[in-house]
């Protein structure tokens, strides 16, 4: 998303851009895939701030030339289920959200109101923070103090510490941080500002691309093509070419050299530093410090194809979070090959076909569902170098066991779906690594901890002249966070024209 945003933004500024995609489908985590009669997205489940009321929404409309449309998930975009038959909905209006929290926790009015005040404070500080990020590292420390000081203080506080100052109610703290899965770091490790930004992001609801998440790539890359640029698939970059101390292009696997005036990497700062820089630059201090930052957890996703009326079985456009515990520090499904498979602490479910108003289920009522949970990367890493779909019987047997265990736990919450399941397939972190190549198979890249936001190297302008970074690791997590990383890369590469463009939004 960061790379496509930067490419479309530069195209809008009159530049010809070549987009290189190592997969056979462009779009990264915005792409979709098909099996038989069904199609699923792989990373876009709900997106906020895409309406014309938000700057990000207006920018997306411009960069897609008005062709990218969004459908609301409805008055409720997230539903949360906890042990003891406790349920709470996250709605598309801040006043309704506050009322839902007060109804569930009537004695916590002061804590809830202070929490909303902190959300507003974080949101107000981020514009200056983003501006500071776009400035060169040579003046970064000064810019961080003058422009981003307020945001930096909030970024360097841990979510658990802030919530602990607000309330002693463990269940309220769990509910306030319930969306930690949208950024992949539990309260004890995550930056509070990221937690606040996710809440603010969805304060006016969640949305889904009309026509499916592949429309994001189709429209943004269409803008690139309209300006004389091009998107090339099966273009596997092996190394960024650095000559005379400056990035001069890239070398593909197979040896093809492509020269360019500027190179923007949307592979992630840590992944670029570890895998794509020439060996002499990988050993530089900034590259090693970036690569050493902790990674967000990997995930497994169970893709389900249905035949029948899944709405009658309880499905809807809203995402459903099924927590098996009130303890959010149990963040990953602690599975390990050769050991008994435990219960997952949380299952996140989404029904893409019910989110897209253009989906035609046909006479067989074909629908799709997805169930996601986090897992440790090191439980899967041993199969990383195997061929896709040919990793051996040991891997396939264990994968089938995980699929069965995960499905049964999910159906405890939605038993009416069982007779409607016509297809199922589990993806693991090694599939994520194969197709997208993030560090440690992480869908979110670097974990959004205070340490990450103290790292001065995570800027869109790299220490190597001519090399820029786009994506969530230079901004914040998620689709819009990655988009802002693309915006920052463009502002860094073309500051005058990019800022002039943004002022008109």
Q: Which of 83-92, 93-102, 218-227, 429-438 has the lowest mean pLDDT?
A: 429-438
261: burial class by Cβ within 10 Å (0-12, 13-18, 19+)? exposed
- State both tokens at 407: 């499905």
User: What is the residue-wise DSSP string for 35-83?
Assistant: ETTEEEESS-S-B-S-STTSHHHHHHHHHTTT---EEE--SEEEEEEET
- Report the chain's mean pLDDT, rounded to a whole number: 95
Q: What is the pLDDT of residue 150?
A: 79
Whole-prediction pTM value? Answer: 0.95
User: What class has domain 2-71+208-293+455-503?
Assistant: alpha beta
Q: What is the pLDDT of residue 457?
A: 84
How far apart (Å, rounded) are the C-alpha atoms in residues 222 and 197? 30
How far apart (Å, rounded) are the C-alpha atoms in residues 464 and 474? 16
Residue (of 184, 217, 181) closest to 33 by Cα position = 217
How far apart (Å, rounded) are the C-alpha atoms in residues 242 and 251? 10
209-259 pLDDT, tens digit per residue, is 999 999 999 999 999 999 999 999 999 999 999 999 999 999 999 999 999
Res. 194: pLDDT tops 70: yes
Domain boundaries, the chain: 2-71+208-293+455-503, 75-205, 298-435
Q: What is the pLDDT of residue 153?
A: 86
pLDDT bucket at 140, cuts 50 / 70 / 90: low
Task: Name residue, tokens 């090339």.
Answer: 232
393: burial class by Cβ within 10 Å (0-12, 13-18, 19+)? exposed
Residue (of 164, 155, 239) closest to 191 by Cα position = 155
Give the mean pLDDT of 451-474: 92
**Alpha helices (H) along 229-333:** 269-271, 279-282, 285-292
Residues 6+ apart with CB under 8 A from 218: none
Helix (H) or strand (E) holding 173: helix 170-176
Give the mean pLDDT of 484-503: 95
Residue (of 135, 155, 7, 102) closest to 471 by Cα position = 7
Vertex 75: Cα angle to 107 and 183 (nearest 5):
75
């Amino acid at each position: 998303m960061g790379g496509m945003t930067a490419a479309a933004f530069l195209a809008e500024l009159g530049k010809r851009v070549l987009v290189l995609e190592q997969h056979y489908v462009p779009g990264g985590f915005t792409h979709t895939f098909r099996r038989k009669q069904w199609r699923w997205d792989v990373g876009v489940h709900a997106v906020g701030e895409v309406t014309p009321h938000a700057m990000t929404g207006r920018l997306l409309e411009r960069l897609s030339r008005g062709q990218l449309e969004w459908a609301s998930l409805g008055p409720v975009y997230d539903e949360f289920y906890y042990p003891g038959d406790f349920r709470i909905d996250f709605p598309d209006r801040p006043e309704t959200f506050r009322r839902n929290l007060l109804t569930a926790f009537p004695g916590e009015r002061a804590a809830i109101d202070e929490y909303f005040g902190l959300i507003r404070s974080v949101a107000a500080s981020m514009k200056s923070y983003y501006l500071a990020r776009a400035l060169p590292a040579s003046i970064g420390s000064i810019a961080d103090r003058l422009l981003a000081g307020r945001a930096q203080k909030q970024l360097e506080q841990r979510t658990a510490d802030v919530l602990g100052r607000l309330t002693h109610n463990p269940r309220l703290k769990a509910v306030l941080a319930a969306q930690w899965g949208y950024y992949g770091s539990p309260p004890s490790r995550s930056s509070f500002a990221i937690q606040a930004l996710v809440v603010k992001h969805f304060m006016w609801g969640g949305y889904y691309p009309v026509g499916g998440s592949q429309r994001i790539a189709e429209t943004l890359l269409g803008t690139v093509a309209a300006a004389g640029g091009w998107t090339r698939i099966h273009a596997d970059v092996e190394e960024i070419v650095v000559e005379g101390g400056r990035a001069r292009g890239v070398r593909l696997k197979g040896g093809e050299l492509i020269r360019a005036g500027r190179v923007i990497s949307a592979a992630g700062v840590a992944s670029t530093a570890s895998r794509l820089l020439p060996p002499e630059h990988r050993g530089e201090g900034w590259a090693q410090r970036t690569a050493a930052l902790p990674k967000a957890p990997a995930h497994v996703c169970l893709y389900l194809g249905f035949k029948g009326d899944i709405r009658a079985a309880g499905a809807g456009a809203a995402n459903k979070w099924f927590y098996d515990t009130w303890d959010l520090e149990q963040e990953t499904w602690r599975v390990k090959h050769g050991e008994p498979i435990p219960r997952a602490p949380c299952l996140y479910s989404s029904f893409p076909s019910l989110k897209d108003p253009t989906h035609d289920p046909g006479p067989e009522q074909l629908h799709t569902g997805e169930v996601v949970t986090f897992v440790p990367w090191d439980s899967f890493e041993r199969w990383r170098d195997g061929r896709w779909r040919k990793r051996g019987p040991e891997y396939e047997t264990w994968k089938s066991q995980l699929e069965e265990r995960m499905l049964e736990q999910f159906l405890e919450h939605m038993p009416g779906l069982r007779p409607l399941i016509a297809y199922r397939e589990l993806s693991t972190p090694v599939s994520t690594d194969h197709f997208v190549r993030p560090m440690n198979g992480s869908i979110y890249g670097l974990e959004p901890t205070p340490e990450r936001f103290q790292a001065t190297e995570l800027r869109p302008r790299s220490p190597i002249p001519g090399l820029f970074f786009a994506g969530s690791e230079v901004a914040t997590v998620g689709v819009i966070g990655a988009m802002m990383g693309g915006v920052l890369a463009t502002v860094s590469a073309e500051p005058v024209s990019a800022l002039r463009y943004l002022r008109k939004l």
